[in-house]
Structure formats: structure tokens, C-alpha cells
């Protein structure tokens, strides 16, 4: 068996089209959606990601403003920038890019981003709202997992789903989103005993551990759908996931590639969230 390739391009293209339509309408009413990306690092990978968001935003009519606080910015300075953006009625979405300067903690600063502008779901209040079933933006990556599963019509209700990873930005929110869809969800982490025994039960396996090649064929039940969220740099400057694609491809029923799977959908969702935030503000 060779797994069906769950490419993200088509999913992202649909989202971009919907975003461009809504952004055009908002602009027509003088309320063009604006995303502010706050940066406080000179990390090259981060700069590349921010450039790719700005480029994607330009293509769908979202105004993307990058505010660079500099790599030595204090928590106070970044907090003031976020507070200003929170109060600015022309800014609809706010994103705080990582890494942050040494000693500056994302969780503390994220509270400056109000949930209604928290388009990447980093404020602990957004995760709390998500867990409580209240309206909130999920982190774009977590929602991208669901967008891929939905696009390829993967059934979730009543199915055994295993998530590897319990971070607040991917593992936990994705587990909540899956629970909301009536999946039976198990979360694994670095202290899970016998990972393969647990992941081997999954009909749908979502992997977000940040460990290249962690998941091999022995971790996957035949025919399972496998979503690889991992993005790990390779020595030659490329990107690889958490799933050993070569061995898993012959055992899984369907598998996302890396790159080209969850990643492009994440960026598209960030912009879609910005438009949704602008629409919510326009509706009062
Ligand atoms: P993270 O904060 O480092 O969390 C990793 C999680 O994986 C932790 O819960 C950790 O367990 C668990 N883990 C690590 N090693 C494990 C092992 N051997 N067995 C089982 N669980 C293990 O990472 P993250 O921010 O969630 O990101 C996860 C991956 O997704 C990374 O590769 C990241 O680059 C990628 N990512 C991709 C996108 C995208 O757009 N495609 C966006 C965001 C993140 P403990 O809690 O016990 O430490």
C-alpha cells in the first residue's frame, strides 16, 4: 500500500480565495484587514517566515505590518508595542513572532493580545476559551490540521485519534479541536511509555513533537491517516517532519508531506483569521 498524499496546496488555495473575497469586501467599506506581526529577534529562519507571511498577505489583500522591536528589546518594550496594537482600531490581528529575546517569556507577553485579535491563539485566555467551547481563535497550526482532515473528508466522529505532543501551540489545542469533533483523543508526550503501542491504536495520528523521524512504520497501524506537523531543519538547509516518510508511506492509508502539508495551510489560516477578526469588529 502507498499512502494517499495529503498535500496542503489545494487546502491553502481555497482558504486564500475565501480570504481575498472577504478582504476585498472589507476594503470596499474602508476597513481593509490589517495584521501586525511583532518581531524581536534577528533569527534568520524567523525572518524568512515573517517575509513569507507578508508576501502571502499582500496576495490576498491583507495589509501586513511588521514591527521590529529589535533582538535586545525588553519585555516592557514589547508589551507596550502589543498594548498599542491592541488599542489600535485599524489593526485587526496581532501576532508575536518567536523566538523572543533571552529572558522574555511568550506566555507573559501573549496576555497583551486580546482574544479578539489573537489570530494565532497564543494568549492563554484563547486556549481557555477554546477548551470551554467559547468563540476563540485556535493557533493556526492546530486549526490547519483540522482543515487538512476536513478537506480530504477524513471522518473524525467516534474514531480513535492519537496526538503526539502537548504544547499549548499545537498538541493541546489540536486535541480540543478533535474532541469538539467527537473523536476519542489520546495525547502522548516525552514521558509516554511505549509510544508505538499507543500510536499503533490510532486511526488518525497527529504528530507534533519536533523530533525528526520519531514516527516510523512500527508506530503506525495499517491504513491510518497520519498528519505530520513537525518541521525540523536538515543539515543541507531543507525541512523534514517528525514522520519517517519512506517507511510510513508504505503502511499508512494517507500521509501529509513535509514540506507542503500542514505548513502552507497554517499561513493561509493566519490570514483567514485576520479577515474574520476584521469582520467581527466591523459587525460591532
Ligand atoms: P514543543 O513545544 O517543543 O513541544 C513538543 C512536544 O512533543 C512536547 O509536548 C514533548 O513532550 C513532545 N515530545 C518530544 N519528544 C517526544 C518523544 N520522543 N515522544 C513523545 N513526545 C515527544 O513543539 P511545538 O511548538 O508543539 O512544535 C512541534 C513541531 O511542530 C515542531 O517541529 C515545530 O517546528 C512544528 N510546528 C510546525 C508549524 C507549521 O506551521 N507547520 C507550526 C508550529 C510548529 P513534553 O511535553 O513531555 O516535553
d(CA 273, CA 152): 21
What separation in Å is there between the alpha carbon of 178 and the centre of ligand 1? 17
Q: What is the mean pLDDT of the chain?
A: 97
The SS3 of residue 257 is: coil
Give the contacts of 25 (CB within 8 A, at least 6 positions apart).
Answer: none
Q: For residue 241, what pLDDT is reported?
A: 97
Over residues 230-241, the pLDDT tens digits come to 999 999 988 999
3-state secondary structure 116-157: HHCCCCCCHHHHHHHHCCCCCCCCHHHHHHHHHHHHCCCCCC
Pocket test for ligand 1, best of 141, 148, 189, 273 (most atoms within 8 A of CB): 189
Q: Is 189 in the pocket of ligand 1 (CB under 6 A)?
A: yes
Tell me what percent of the chain is helix, strand and coil, each rounded to the nearest 5. 45, 15, 40
Say yes or no to pLDDT of 283 above 80. no
Which residue is listed with cell 481557555?
A: 128
The band of 271, judged by pLDDT with boundaries at 50, 70 and 90, is very high
Q: For residue 192, what pLDDT is reported?
A: 98
Say yes or no to pLDDT of 1 above 90. no
d(CA 34, CA 1): 46
d(CA 261, CA 61): 24
Q: For residue 281, what pLDDT is reported?
A: 81
Residue pair 2/250 in contact (Cβ under 8 Å)? The answer is yes
What DSSP state is assigned to residue 74? -
Residue among 196, 129, 124 nearest 164 (CA): 196
Say yes or no to pLDDT of 272 above 90. yes
What separation in Å is there between the alpha carbon of 23 and the centre of ligand 1? 33
Over residues 6-47, the pLDDT tens digits come to 999 999 999 999 999 999 999 999 999 999 999 999 998 899
Say yes or no to pLDDT of 284 above 80. no
Q: What is the mean pLDDT of residues 271-276?
A: 98
For residue 24, how many other CB atoms are within 10 A of its CB? 13
Residue pair 71/101 in contact (Cβ under 8 Å)? The answer is yes
Ligand 1, atom 19, lies closest to the CA of 190
Portion of the chain with pLDDT greater than 90, in percent? 96
Q: For residue 45, what pLDDT is reported?
A: 87
Q: Is 115 in the pocket of ligand 1 (CB under 6 A)?
A: no
Q: Is 263 in the pocket of ligand 1 (CB under 6 A)?
A: yes
What separation in Å is there between the alpha carbon of 244 and the centre of ligand 1? 16
Q: Which three cell numbers stand for residue 44?
A: 534568520
Portion of the chain with pLDDT greater than 70, in percent? 100
Over residues 55-114, the pLDDT tens digits come to 999 999 999 999 999 999 999 999 999 999 999 999 999 999 999 999 999 999 999 999
Q: Is 140 in the pocket of ligand 1 (CB under 6 A)?
A: no
Which residue is listed with cell 513572532?
A: 97
What separation in Å is there between the alpha carbon of 233 and the centre of ligand 1? 14
Q: Which three cell numbers stand for residue 68?
A: 521590529
CA of 17: how far to CAs of 57, 137, 198, 263, 272, in Å? Answer: 12, 20, 39, 17, 10
> How many Cα atoms within 13 Å fall on the side-chain side of residue 171?
17
d(CA 16, CA 247): 33
d(CA 189, CA 203): 18
Opening angle at CA 277, ends 31 and 81, nearest 5: 85
Say yes or no to pLDDT of 207 above 90. yes
Beta strands in the chain (DSSP E): 4-5, 34-39, 63-68, 93-96, 160-164, 184-188, 204-207, 225-228, 232-233, 239-240, 254-255
Amino acid at each position: 500500500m502507498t499512502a494517499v498524499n495529503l498535500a496542503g496546496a489545494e487546502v491553502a488555495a481555497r482558504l486564500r480565495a475565501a480570504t481575498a473575497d472577504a478582504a476585498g469586501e472589507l476594503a470596499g467599506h474602508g476597513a481593509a484587514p490589517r495584521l501586525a506581526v511583532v518581531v524581536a529577534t534577528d533569527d534568520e529562519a524567523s525572518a524568512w517566515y515573517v517575509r513569507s507571511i507578508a508576501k502571502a498577505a499582500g496576495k490576498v489583500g491583507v495589509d501586513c505590518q511588521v514591527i521590529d522591536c529589535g533582538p535586545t528589546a525588553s519585555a516592557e518594550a514589547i508589551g507596550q508595542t502589543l498594548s498599542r496594537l491592541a488599542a489600535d482600531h485599524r489593526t485587526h490581528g496581532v501576532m508575536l513572532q518567536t523566538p523572543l529575546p533571552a529572558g522574555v517569556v511568550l506566555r507573559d507577553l501573549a496576555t497583551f493580545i486580546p482574544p479578539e485579535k489573537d489570530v494565532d491563539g497564543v494568549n492563554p485566555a484563547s486556549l481557555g476559551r477554546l477548551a470551554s467551547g467559547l468563540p476563540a481563535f485556535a493557533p493556526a497550526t492546530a486549526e490547519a490540521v483540522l482543515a487538512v482532515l476536513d478537506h480530504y473528508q477524513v471522518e473524525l466522529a467516534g474514531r480513535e485519534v492519537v496526538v503526539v505532543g502537548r504544547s499549548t501551540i499545537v498538541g493541546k489545542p489540536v486535541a480540543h479541536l478533535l474532541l469538539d469533533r467527537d473523536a476519542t483523543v489520546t495525547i502522548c508526550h516525552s514521558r509516554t511509555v511505549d509510544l508505538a503501542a499507543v500510536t499503533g491504536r490510532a486511526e488518525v495520528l497527529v504528530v507534533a513533537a519536533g523530533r525528526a523521524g520519531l514516527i516510523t512504520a512500527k508506530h503506525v497501524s495499517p491504513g491510518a491517516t497520519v498528519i505530520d506537523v513537525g518541521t525540523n531543519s536538515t543539515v543541507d538547509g531543507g525541512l523534514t517532519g517528525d514522520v519517517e516518510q519512506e517507511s510510513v508511506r508504505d503502511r499508512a492509508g494517507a500521509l501529509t508531506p513535509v514540506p507542503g502539508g500542514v505548513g502552507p495551510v497554517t499561513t493561509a489560516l493566519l490570514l483567514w483569521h485576520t479577515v474574520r477578526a476584521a469582520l467581527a469588529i466591523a459587525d460591532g
